[in-house]
Amino acid sequence: MSRSNVTTNTSNLNVTIDDFDPLISYSDYSDWSTPDPQDHPDWFNASSSITSEVWHEATYHYTTVQGAQASFNFTGMFHVARSISQLLLFLSHLVSSCPSSSTFCSFLFLFNIKSHLYPSPYTSQSPLNLLSISSQSPLNLLSISSQSPLLSFPLYQYTNITKGSSVWIYGFTSSTPNYTLTIDPSSSQPYTTSLSNGNTTANERALLFSSEELAYTQHEVVLENQSGGLGVDLVVVGFEGGAEGATLANTTLDDRASEIVFTGSWTQQNNDLFYNTTSSYTEGPGNNFQVNFTGSAVYIYGDQVNDHGPFSVYINDTTTPYATHTGRSGCGGGYAKYCEKVHGLAFFANNLPEGQHTLRLENQGPSDGNMTYFDFDYLVYTTPSIYSTQSLASSSCPFTNCTTASTTSSTTSASTSTSSPSTSSSSAGELGMAVGNGALGLMMGAWFLRKLLV
């Protein structure tokens, strides 16, 4: 089937960006220590009992190089608006449905509260339309600490209305980490914090940084290693897919869907690892595909290889790219057909206005010699029943409250999980500690999640 539809009853979404996704580009691939996903191509969706790994999609990037940076740009929105009576009603419903003295129910109880108000990227609100959470699901509850934003929920968060951007950065550190994080370095009031005193050990997962109080505007986040070791595994961005109370419909279009119009030379390939077993690839600049859709967000998925290169995405504009990324994979080495990883998030945009949009993805790169490829697997777009009226904010500092931001502590520690994979039935989507030598040159150069004006 080339088209599928799923409807959800929440207006809030989280998008997960893996360390290998094309949204993440690397300034120097040789500086990185990372596993080669091509050694086990099916591990992107395998459980830890098969992979014996604890990383999200069984990959990570690790550095010990001083001054190595990771950066990305985004405009996300996370909207919390729940009254105490609503919360108590929901808690009462969960308690009544749980068996007494059930440890599993306690975990499920906490997770359901969190996913009801803060949808996890691994619930049915995911663009991939995952409809259930099993013991083999990514980020299984037993491996997430109470310090993770996917579980922790102070009561005050539900007694106020908060509108702003949300971001969580996950990874791991050495025993003596020292890294800085800067938000909006070019703004008049940039925010910089130093983070240290990490206590991650083998098979532990760290929340390197999070904020749910960023102003709803364009942000740049720069993560820089100062000493010790620093690993990056994934980034989660929260945003509003529709107005408060809206339902969201996710539509998935396979590369064979009639709505996808290809221009230039494209070749369809077959593999059980691809969505609906097919993917289409092209070589050389100018070849493109185009699709019309009606929705507030859109996601493009494909695989990455070291012979892939730059591509540009246009939305409602035939001359100025909405974004330009690279489909090159995340391993070191030169131009070659190796280090392939499937099901990568190649592009993402949200907060699109109501109405029909035209998206065009065009392959770039040299016209001769080592011409680069792009692989397109499938596309998902989200259509809300009611569109959000949220508009970009004008703020001199990165946060919704600049006074509070200026008094924030400048030195904090990474929070970590405490469970061991040997006692957890979790999947390869879970996170852990790995040891390696390399350099952090991550440039998550994704000008995604920005306000689009038709």
The pLDDT value recorded for residue 375 is 95
The pLDDT value recorded for residue 199 is 53
Residue 224 within a domain:
yes
Residue 437 within a domain:
no
Give 3-state DSSP helix, strand, coil % of the chain, rounded to 5: 15, 35, 50
**Residue 50 belongs to domain spanning:** 3-78+161-384
Residue 217 within a domain:
yes
**What is the distance between the alpha carbons of residues 239 and 237, in angstroms, rounded to a whole number?**
7
What is the mean predicted confidence (pLDDT) over 140-154? Answer: 31
Residue 346 within a domain:
yes
Mind spelling out the 3-state secondary structure of 369-393? CCCCEEEECEEEEEEECCCCCCCCC
Residue 399 within a domain:
no
pLDDT, greater one: 86 or 334: 334
Range from 148-152, 166-170, 420-424, 433-437 that averages highest in pLDDT: 166-170
Residue 377 within a domain:
yes
Of 67-76, 203-212, 266-275, 355-364, where does mean pLDDT reach its minimum? 67-76
The pLDDT value recorded for residue 382 is 96
pLDDT, greater one: 111 or 258: 258
Q: Which two tokens stand for residue 313?
A: 């995405």
Residue 309 within a domain:
yes
Total domains in the fold of the chain = 1
Mean of the per-residue pLDDT values of the chain: 71
pLDDT in tens, 153-173: 222 222 222 334 688 989 888
Q: Which two tokens stand for residue 235?
A: 């980034």
Q: Is the pLDDT of residue 439 over 50?
A: no
Of 168-177, 285-294, 387-396, where does mean pLDDT reach its minimum? 387-396
User: Hey, which residues does 227 pair with through a beta bridge?
Assistant: 178
Backbone angles phi, psi at 88, to 5 degrees: -65, -40
Whether pTM exceeds 0.75: no
Residue 119 within a domain:
no
Q: Is the pLDDT of residue 430 over 80?
A: no
Q: Which two tokens stand for residue 234?
A: 């994934």
Question: What CATH number is attached to the domain comprising 207?
Answer: 2.60.120.260
pLDDT in tens, 181-227: 988 898 888 999 998 866 555 567 789 999 888 887 778 888 888 99
pLDDT in tens, 307-316: 888 999 999 9
